[in-house]
Structure 1
Amino acid sequence: MQATRETVLTRIDQRAQHRPTYRLSVRRALLDWGAQRLFGLAAVAIGGLVFVIAATLLVRTVPLLHVYPLSDLLTGQVWQPMRGLFGFAPFIVGSIAVTGVAMALAVIPAILCGIYLAEYVNRRTRTLLKPVLDLLVGIPSVVYGLWGILVIVPLVRDHLGPWSDRTLGRLLPFFSQTNPSGYGLLAAGIVLAVMVFPLIVAVTEEVIRSVPDEMRQTLLALGATRWESTKCIVRHAGLPGILAAIVLGFSRAFGETLAVMMTVGNVARIPGSLFDAAYPLPALIANNYGEMMSVPLYESALMGAALLLLAVVVCFNAGAQFAVERLVRRRNA
């Protein structure tokens, strides 16, 4: 009986000792469950925000779609709201053209610069250059726009335009200087290229530096040169991240408003030359929203322009994500 009593007392003491630990584990489990639900709710809210924005724009665009077929709106080339003509074709082409010029000027130099910062620059030089890139990313777009008006537009008007008209313009009409003002696709494209350049450089540099150093050392030990090692890293380990950097640059360029609006000329006409003025979708919305709202369907047309802008960016990002995933699967196969 005495032994049984001592055994019972020992078990009670052991349970009393483990009770705080049990309470602590329950508390940690509850905190983990709550944090998981909270983070999941935040992720769903962020993802659902895109659908909420799209639904809101679509509801405001419906009155216009009841009057005009979507095909007529997308292919129409005349924008005269006072007469009820809402052709989006010049604005769609203008957005694509300005973004295309900017990406053509920025992508390859930015990728090469990112590779150089990641693979060839010493730590001291990289420490000096990184804050400059971060500063360029954070400069307000209105500052870029003013710089474009003061520097890029005169450069295009007085030097690049006449030179292109005398040389390439004689063979290809796309390079002829049809607009002597300097405001046009090339000026806006150069300003936009400068804006997206540091973003692509920063992402590319981070992607290349995230590759394990053992991969570099292995390639060098096998007799590869520095450039051969870098090329192998970019092709096999860094290509998906570089494509993601290009997608980010495209999204930034396609949705840019103020700097492009200040340098592109804002003429609702499909450009036929690199020096023609254009009118991108963001500039259309920024210039006209809040004015002449008494015109029937005018606000609905501007909401339709915003919906088009959102749809192009979403489709491009989805297509790029699909291409990156397919590339990764093919590489791992």
Structure 2
Amino acid sequence: GKTTTSSMIGYMLLQAGLDPTILVGGEVKAWEGNARMGKSRYLVAEADESDGSLVKHAPEIGIITNIELDHPDHYETLEEVVDTFQTFAQGCKTLVGSIDCDTVRHRLKPTISYSLDPDQGADYTVSNVNYRADGTTALVWEKGQALGVLNLQLLGRHNLSNSLAAVAVGRFLGLEFGQIAEGIATFEGARRRFELRGEAAGVTFIDDYAHHPSEIRATLAAANLQSRPGQRVVAIFQPHRYSRTLTFLEEFAESFTHADLVVLTDIYSAGEPDLGQVSGEDLATAISKHNPQVVYQPNLPLVSEFLLENLRSGDLALFLGAGNLNQTIPELITTMSEPAKSYI
């Protein structure tokens, strides 16, 4: 949730008239790119632990949404990841953290905490939560006092958690809850984060950057919130990096249980050499033990060919991955929009 959280905070400050400079890892419609230059003293930047450079940052406010082993090409163990985050936390004047993450709760000491569970005793929490197909609403609490109702256009528990981080930052900076809620209510999200790419022949095309098992589970949960009765959720996944696929093979295999059909292609290397230890087909075999509705297509042209033959009206086609899988979406929409085609 790094890109969504940082983009949401930047957008919230922008809507509040604070004119922030924003640097994030995804494109955002509000500023037509991944960065905007502001004229105030506020800078919102997304950073991650992928190469260890996170420890070079010493922000006024640091936000940690969760900690997990996501880059086995750089870290051998979760403990090494925790060490990096602990060093980063020590450099933050104020640390905002989600204590729904066990590692954040037990290994770090956030200055300001947030949680979706009111029983955790966090500084910020929610109640009266309503997850809908068109968004989420919740009553937000600050240290035992009700602040008001928050409305999100974004779907799912993970995005409600991200919005609590934004609330915590906004309140720390002195914003009224009304200003915070107004900004968050109109935030449309970043591109490739459950992004609606279009519809054709009754099929809805969604593009999402999810490439880690926990991200895939969260994205599928959001897709199932949006899907209508009888509508299939078709997950099309391109694994990202051999090292990640090998390390989390079983976790990936268990992540697709809530998809009605899984279409898998081969691994996007992201520059890693293929050592012959794991393949997309190996992952398809592992997934089949938990969800038998899985199909392997070794390359993107075959993925497109399969989808053209097998997608049907009413499907929600969810394209997952950090590689180039999403490049197939425009051609699929164009082809399926042709009058001569019929998808039943």
TM-score interval for Structure 1 and Structure 2 normalised by the shorter chain: under 0.3
TM-score by length of 2: 0.25
Higher relative strand content:
2
Higher relative helix content:
1
Larger radius of gyration: 1
RCO comparison, higher one (Cα < 8 Å, 6+)? 1
TM-score by length of 1: 0.26
